[in-house]
Structure 1
Amino acid sequence: MAEVSAEARIEAPSGKVWERLTDFGSYGEWNATHTSFPDGGPETLAAGATFTENMKLMGFPAEVLWTVEELEEGRVLAIRGKGPMGVIVGTRYSLADADGGTAVRVDGEFTGAAVALMAGKLKDSATAALNESLRKLAGLVA
Protein backbone atom coordinates (compact mmCIF):
# COMPACT_ATOMS: atom_id res chain seq x y z
CA MET A 1 0.00 0.00 0.00
CA ALA A 2 1.12 3.55 -0.68
CA GLU A 3 -0.48 6.37 1.28
CA VAL A 4 -0.16 10.07 0.45
CA SER A 5 -1.58 13.31 1.78
CA ALA A 6 -1.41 17.04 1.24
CA GLU A 7 -2.85 20.05 3.05
CA ALA A 8 -3.32 23.68 2.15
CA ARG A 9 -5.03 26.76 3.47
CA ILE A 10 -7.06 28.41 0.75
CA GLU A 11 -8.04 32.05 1.20
CA ALA A 12 -11.68 31.56 0.24
CA PRO A 13 -14.83 30.45 2.08
CA SER A 14 -15.33 26.69 2.26
CA GLY A 15 -18.54 26.92 0.20
CA LYS A 16 -16.63 28.43 -2.71
CA VAL A 17 -13.88 25.78 -2.45
CA TRP A 18 -16.49 22.98 -2.26
CA GLU A 19 -18.30 24.36 -5.31
CA ARG A 20 -15.12 24.18 -7.40
CA LEU A 21 -14.06 20.83 -5.93
CA THR A 22 -17.36 19.23 -6.96
CA ASP A 23 -17.61 20.96 -10.35
CA PHE A 24 -16.50 18.00 -12.43
CA GLY A 25 -16.55 20.09 -15.60
CA SER A 26 -13.61 22.13 -14.30
CA TYR A 27 -11.43 19.28 -12.96
CA GLY A 28 -8.90 19.74 -15.74
CA GLU A 29 -8.27 23.31 -14.55
CA TRP A 30 -6.87 22.23 -11.19
CA ASN A 31 -6.53 18.44 -10.80
CA ALA A 32 -2.96 17.56 -11.84
CA THR A 33 -3.70 13.87 -12.56
CA HIS A 34 -7.00 14.34 -14.42
CA THR A 35 -7.17 14.03 -18.20
CA SER A 36 -10.90 13.47 -18.86
CA PHE A 37 -14.24 12.04 -17.79
CA PRO A 38 -15.15 9.92 -20.85
CA ASP A 39 -18.82 9.79 -19.81
CA GLY A 40 -18.90 13.01 -17.78
CA GLY A 41 -18.75 13.24 -13.99
CA PRO A 42 -21.34 11.60 -11.77
CA GLU A 43 -24.91 12.49 -12.78
CA THR A 44 -25.79 13.10 -9.13
CA LEU A 45 -23.16 13.52 -6.46
CA ALA A 46 -24.29 11.07 -3.80
CA ALA A 47 -22.92 8.06 -1.94
CA GLY A 48 -22.93 5.09 -4.31
CA ALA A 49 -22.68 7.21 -7.48
CA THR A 50 -20.16 5.93 -10.02
CA PHE A 51 -18.16 7.58 -12.78
CA THR A 52 -15.12 6.87 -14.93
CA GLU A 53 -12.05 9.10 -15.03
CA ASN A 54 -9.01 8.99 -17.27
CA MET A 55 -5.90 9.97 -15.34
CA LYS A 56 -2.15 10.18 -15.73
CA LEU A 57 0.27 9.49 -12.90
CA MET A 58 4.02 8.94 -13.20
CA GLY A 59 3.57 9.44 -16.94
CA PHE A 60 1.23 6.45 -17.25
CA PRO A 61 -2.38 6.81 -18.40
CA ALA A 62 -5.00 4.97 -16.37
CA GLU A 63 -8.76 4.62 -16.43
CA VAL A 64 -10.37 4.46 -12.99
CA LEU A 65 -13.97 3.48 -12.24
CA TRP A 66 -14.82 5.52 -9.13
CA THR A 67 -17.56 5.06 -6.55
CA VAL A 68 -18.51 7.83 -4.12
CA GLU A 69 -18.04 6.24 -0.69
CA GLU A 70 -18.71 9.18 1.59
CA LEU A 71 -20.31 12.56 1.04
CA GLU A 72 -20.87 15.23 3.64
CA GLU A 73 -22.07 18.25 1.69
CA GLY A 74 -19.56 21.08 1.88
CA ARG A 75 -17.12 19.10 4.02
CA VAL A 76 -16.11 15.59 2.83
CA LEU A 77 -15.91 13.80 -0.50
CA ALA A 78 -14.40 10.32 -0.44
CA ILE A 79 -14.13 8.17 -3.57
CA ARG A 80 -12.67 4.72 -4.19
CA GLY A 81 -11.85 3.33 -7.59
CA LYS A 82 -10.59 0.36 -9.54
CA GLY A 83 -7.72 1.04 -11.90
CA PRO A 84 -5.56 -1.06 -14.20
CA MET A 85 -3.55 -4.08 -13.00
CA GLY A 86 -5.85 -4.60 -10.01
CA VAL A 87 -4.88 -1.31 -8.36
CA ILE A 88 -7.44 0.16 -5.97
CA VAL A 89 -7.26 3.93 -5.50
CA GLY A 90 -8.85 5.95 -2.70
CA THR A 91 -9.09 9.73 -2.44
CA ARG A 92 -10.65 11.72 0.42
CA TYR A 93 -11.07 15.50 0.35
CA SER A 94 -11.81 17.19 3.71
CA LEU A 95 -12.67 20.88 4.11
CA ALA A 96 -12.81 22.89 7.35
CA ASP A 97 -13.38 26.57 8.02
CA ALA A 98 -10.16 28.32 9.06
CA ASP A 99 -10.37 31.99 10.08
CA GLY A 100 -12.13 33.23 6.95
CA GLY A 101 -10.39 30.73 4.71
CA THR A 102 -10.57 26.98 4.23
CA ALA A 103 -8.25 24.23 5.39
CA VAL A 104 -8.21 21.53 2.70
CA ARG A 105 -6.73 18.09 3.22
CA VAL A 106 -6.44 15.38 0.59
CA ASP A 107 -5.63 11.81 1.58
CA GLY A 108 -4.93 9.16 -1.01
CA GLU A 109 -4.09 5.49 -0.99
CA PHE A 110 -3.09 2.93 -3.57
CA THR A 111 -3.32 -0.82 -2.98
CA GLY A 112 -2.67 -3.86 -5.13
CA ALA A 113 0.21 -6.08 -6.16
CA ALA A 114 1.48 -3.60 -8.77
CA VAL A 115 1.76 -0.87 -6.12
CA ALA A 116 4.37 -2.81 -4.13
CA LEU A 117 6.74 -2.71 -7.10
CA MET A 118 6.74 1.08 -7.30
CA ALA A 119 5.48 2.35 -3.92
CA GLY A 120 8.30 4.85 -3.35
CA LYS A 121 8.08 6.52 -6.75
CA LEU A 122 4.28 6.41 -6.61
CA LYS A 123 4.24 8.19 -3.23
CA ASP A 124 6.59 10.91 -4.50
CA SER A 125 4.67 11.44 -7.74
CA ALA A 126 1.22 11.37 -6.12
CA THR A 127 2.26 13.74 -3.30
CA ALA A 128 3.65 16.21 -5.84
CA ALA A 129 0.41 15.96 -7.87
CA LEU A 130 -1.74 16.56 -4.77
CA ASN A 131 0.27 19.63 -3.80
CA GLU A 132 0.12 21.00 -7.34
CA SER A 133 -3.64 20.35 -7.46
CA LEU A 134 -4.24 22.22 -4.20
CA ARG A 135 -2.11 25.14 -5.44
CA LYS A 136 -4.13 25.34 -8.66
CA LEU A 137 -7.43 24.97 -6.80
CA ALA A 138 -6.44 27.84 -4.50
CA GLY A 139 -5.64 30.01 -7.51
CA LEU A 140 -9.09 29.39 -8.99
CA VAL A 141 -11.12 30.25 -5.90
CA ALA A 142 -9.04 32.84 -4.03
Structure 2
Amino acid sequence: MAEVTAESRIEAPAAKLWAQLTDWGAYGQWSMTHTDFPEGGPGNLAVGATFTENMKMMGFPAEVLWTVSELEDQRLFAITGKGPMGVAVLTRYTLTADGTATKVRIDGEFTGAAVSLMAGKLKDSATAALNESLRRLAALVA
Protein backbone atom coordinates (compact mmCIF):
# COMPACT_ATOMS: atom_id res chain seq x y z
CA MET A 1 0.00 0.00 0.00
CA ALA A 2 1.09 3.56 -0.70
CA GLU A 3 -0.52 6.52 1.04
CA VAL A 4 -0.01 10.14 0.02
CA THR A 5 -1.19 13.48 1.36
CA ALA A 6 -0.88 17.08 0.26
CA GLU A 7 -2.35 20.13 1.96
CA SER A 8 -2.45 23.83 1.20
CA ARG A 9 -4.11 26.97 2.55
CA ILE A 10 -5.66 28.68 -0.45
CA GLU A 11 -6.87 32.28 -0.38
CA ALA A 12 -10.40 31.59 -1.62
CA PRO A 13 -13.71 30.63 -0.04
CA ALA A 14 -14.69 26.95 0.00
CA ALA A 15 -17.56 27.57 -2.44
CA LYS A 16 -15.17 28.90 -5.09
CA LEU A 17 -12.76 26.00 -4.61
CA TRP A 18 -15.61 23.47 -4.68
CA ALA A 19 -16.86 24.92 -7.95
CA GLN A 20 -13.38 24.50 -9.46
CA LEU A 21 -12.91 20.97 -8.03
CA THR A 22 -16.18 19.83 -9.57
CA ASP A 23 -15.84 21.61 -12.93
CA TRP A 24 -15.10 18.48 -14.97
CA GLY A 25 -14.39 20.45 -18.16
CA ALA A 26 -11.61 22.37 -16.39
CA TYR A 27 -10.24 19.47 -14.32
CA GLY A 28 -7.15 19.13 -16.48
CA GLN A 29 -6.21 22.77 -15.86
CA TRP A 30 -5.11 21.93 -12.35
CA SER A 31 -4.98 18.14 -11.84
CA MET A 32 -1.50 16.88 -12.72
CA THR A 33 -2.60 13.26 -13.13
CA HIS A 34 -5.70 13.88 -15.25
CA THR A 35 -5.72 13.21 -18.99
CA ASP A 36 -9.44 13.18 -19.79
CA PHE A 37 -12.90 11.95 -18.91
CA PRO A 38 -13.92 9.78 -21.89
CA GLU A 39 -17.58 10.14 -20.91
CA GLY A 40 -17.39 13.74 -19.67
CA GLY A 41 -16.94 13.08 -15.94
CA PRO A 42 -19.61 12.28 -13.40
CA GLY A 43 -22.92 13.57 -14.71
CA ASN A 44 -24.76 13.52 -11.40
CA LEU A 45 -22.43 14.15 -8.49
CA ALA A 46 -23.92 11.85 -5.85
CA VAL A 47 -22.73 8.97 -3.70
CA GLY A 48 -22.73 5.86 -5.87
CA ALA A 49 -22.21 7.74 -9.15
CA THR A 50 -19.58 6.18 -11.40
CA PHE A 51 -17.32 7.63 -14.09
CA THR A 52 -14.17 6.77 -16.00
CA GLU A 53 -11.01 8.87 -15.95
CA ASN A 54 -7.88 8.50 -18.05
CA MET A 55 -4.84 9.40 -15.98
CA LYS A 56 -1.08 9.39 -16.11
CA MET A 57 0.97 8.26 -13.12
CA MET A 58 4.74 7.92 -13.14
CA GLY A 59 4.60 8.53 -16.89
CA PHE A 60 2.26 5.60 -17.53
CA PRO A 61 -1.31 5.93 -18.80
CA ALA A 62 -4.06 4.36 -16.72
CA GLU A 63 -7.83 4.15 -16.98
CA VAL A 64 -9.64 4.23 -13.64
CA LEU A 65 -13.29 3.45 -13.05
CA TRP A 66 -14.31 5.67 -10.13
CA THR A 67 -17.25 5.52 -7.73
CA VAL A 68 -18.20 8.50 -5.58
CA SER A 69 -17.97 7.12 -2.03
CA GLU A 70 -18.40 10.24 0.15
CA LEU A 71 -19.88 13.63 -0.60
CA GLU A 72 -20.59 16.70 1.53
CA ASP A 73 -21.21 19.82 -0.53
CA GLN A 74 -18.31 22.27 -0.31
CA ARG A 75 -16.56 20.08 2.30
CA LEU A 76 -15.73 16.54 1.18
CA PHE A 77 -15.49 14.61 -2.07
CA ALA A 78 -14.10 11.06 -2.00
CA ILE A 79 -13.84 8.57 -4.82
CA THR A 80 -12.72 4.95 -4.91
CA GLY A 81 -11.49 3.38 -8.08
CA LYS A 82 -10.20 0.33 -9.87
CA GLY A 83 -7.21 0.76 -12.13
CA PRO A 84 -4.99 -1.48 -14.21
CA MET A 85 -3.25 -4.55 -12.76
CA GLY A 86 -5.82 -4.81 -9.95
CA VAL A 87 -4.77 -1.56 -8.30
CA ALA A 88 -7.41 -0.02 -6.03
CA VAL A 89 -7.29 3.75 -5.59
CA LEU A 90 -8.86 6.14 -3.10
CA THR A 91 -8.78 9.92 -3.50
CA ARG A 92 -10.32 12.25 -0.91
CA TYR A 93 -10.59 16.03 -1.16
CA THR A 94 -11.32 17.81 2.14
CA LEU A 95 -12.06 21.54 2.35
CA THR A 96 -11.97 23.34 5.70
CA ALA A 97 -12.72 27.05 6.12
CA ASP A 98 -9.82 29.01 7.60
CA GLY A 99 -10.86 32.64 7.96
CA THR A 100 -11.16 34.07 4.45
CA ALA A 101 -9.14 31.16 3.06
CA THR A 102 -9.72 27.42 2.80
CA LYS A 103 -7.46 24.55 3.75
CA VAL A 104 -7.53 21.96 0.98
CA ARG A 105 -6.25 18.49 1.73
CA ILE A 106 -5.92 15.69 -0.78
CA ASP A 107 -5.40 12.15 0.48
CA GLY A 108 -4.64 9.25 -1.80
CA GLU A 109 -4.24 5.56 -1.24
CA PHE A 110 -3.09 2.86 -3.64
CA THR A 111 -3.40 -0.85 -2.87
CA GLY A 112 -2.83 -4.06 -4.77
CA ALA A 113 -0.05 -6.50 -5.58
CA ALA A 114 1.47 -4.23 -8.24
CA VAL A 115 1.70 -1.36 -5.75
CA SER A 116 4.00 -3.27 -3.39
CA LEU A 117 6.59 -3.55 -6.16
CA MET A 118 6.76 0.21 -6.70
CA ALA A 119 5.33 1.77 -3.55
CA GLY A 120 8.24 4.14 -2.90
CA LYS A 121 8.36 5.56 -6.43
CA LEU A 122 4.57 5.74 -6.60
CA LYS A 123 4.41 7.63 -3.31
CA ASP A 124 7.05 10.14 -4.41
CA SER A 125 5.45 10.68 -7.82
CA ALA A 126 1.91 10.99 -6.46
CA THR A 127 2.95 13.38 -3.67
CA ALA A 128 4.72 15.66 -6.17
CA ALA A 129 1.67 15.56 -8.46
CA LEU A 130 -0.72 16.41 -5.61
CA ASN A 131 1.41 19.34 -4.43
CA GLU A 132 1.66 20.74 -7.96
CA SER A 133 -2.11 20.21 -8.42
CA LEU A 134 -2.80 22.28 -5.29
CA ARG A 135 -0.46 25.02 -6.55
CA ARG A 136 -2.31 25.12 -9.87
CA LEU A 137 -5.71 25.03 -8.16
CA ALA A 138 -4.72 28.04 -6.04
CA ALA A 139 -3.63 29.94 -9.15
CA LEU A 140 -6.96 29.24 -10.88
CA VAL A 141 -9.08 30.60 -8.04
CA ALA A 142 -6.84 33.58 -7.19
- So what's the TM-score if we normalise by structure 2? 0.99
Give me the identity figure in percent.
Answer: 73
CA distance in 2, matches of 1:67, 1:23: 17
Q: In structure 1, the residue corresponding to 2:69 is in which secondary structure?
A: strand
Aligned to 1:130: 130
CA distance in 2, matches of 1:43, 1:22: 11
CA distance in 1, matches of 2:50, 2:43: 9
Alpha-carbon displacement from aligned partner over 1:91-125 (angstroms, at most 9, x marks no partner):
00000101100000000000000000000000000
Q: Equivalent residues in 2 for 1:1-142 (5 A)? A: 1-142=1-142
Gaps of 5+ in 2: none
Aligned structure 1 segments of 4 or more residues deviating by more than 2 angstroms: none
Q: In structure 2, the residue corresponding to 1:136 is in which secondary structure?
A: helix
**Paired positions, count:** 142
CA distance in 1, matches of 2:6, 2:59: 20
CA distance in 1, matches of 2:25, 2:47: 19
CA distance in 1, matches of 2:71, 2:23: 14
Alpha-carbon displacement from aligned partner over 1:116-135 (angstroms, at most 9, x marks no partner):
00000000000000000000
- Paired AA for residue 30 in structure 1: W
Gaps of 5+ in 1: none
- So what's the TM-score if we normalise by structure 1? 0.99
1:5 deviation in Å?
A: 0.2
RMSD: 0.4
- Paired AA for residue 4 in structure 1: V
